[in-house]
Amino acid sequence: MLSFVLLLLAVVWAAVLVPPFLQARREGRSGSSVLSFRAQLSTLERAIPGSRFLETHSGRVQAVVPGSYPITGLTPAEARRRRRDILVGLLGASVFTLLLAVAVGGVFLVLFLLTAATTGGYVYALRQRHLRRLERSAKVRALVPRTAPAPAASVPQGFALHRTAT
């Protein structure tokens, strides 16, 4: 009986460990952590801000639209609409489960509490995001290139001239 359990355990371990090993050999990857680090670094280099392409988690490369969020590819207006739709859906689910909890009770009361907690957590996350955006707009200023001042045509006598760094 003990040998059967050990044999079964060996088969399970083989089923877990052999397929990734064979796939790595088929793709020509070695188990070197240095090579893995270099591959990840090259992925990061392609995803730097200002680049036009971004490699997704699935390994495919997609174009990044200027003015969009790089992960989802949504424009800010689409992201706002998505957040609004999620909030409306959560509020609707909370109201629906509240009505069921009042009418039927029991399990629906627990379901209402769960949806209400989820809605509250989402509202809290939206509020934190809004506060971070306000703080960022108060602290971060866009860098505007300075223009050189126009040279003075004539300088009256008696005024001292000094240079300032621009």
Q: Domain ranges in the chain?
A: 37-73, 76-138
Residues in the chain: 166
Tell me the pLDDT of the chain (166 aa) as tens digits: 777 777 777 887 888 878 877 777 777 655 567 777 777 777 776 665 555 555 555 555 555 555 555 566 778 888 899 999 999 999 999 999 999 999 988 899 999 999 999 999 999 999 999 999 899 888 877 777 777 666 655 555 555 555 555 5
Handedness of CA 114, 119, 123, 125 (dihedral sign): positive
Q: What is the pLDDT of residue 41?
A: 74
pLDDT, position 61: 52
DSSP letters, the chain, are: -HHHHHHHHHHHHHHHHHHHHHHHHHTT----HHHHHHHHHHHHHHTSTT-SEEE-TTS-EEEPPTTS-TTT---HHHHHHHHHHHHHHHHHHHHHHHHHHHHT-THHHHHHHHHHHHHHHHHHHHHHHHHHHHHHHHH--------PPPPPS---TT--------
Shortest CA distance to 125 belongs to which of 95, 83, 73?
Answer: 83
Evaluate if pTM is beyond 0.85.
Answer: no
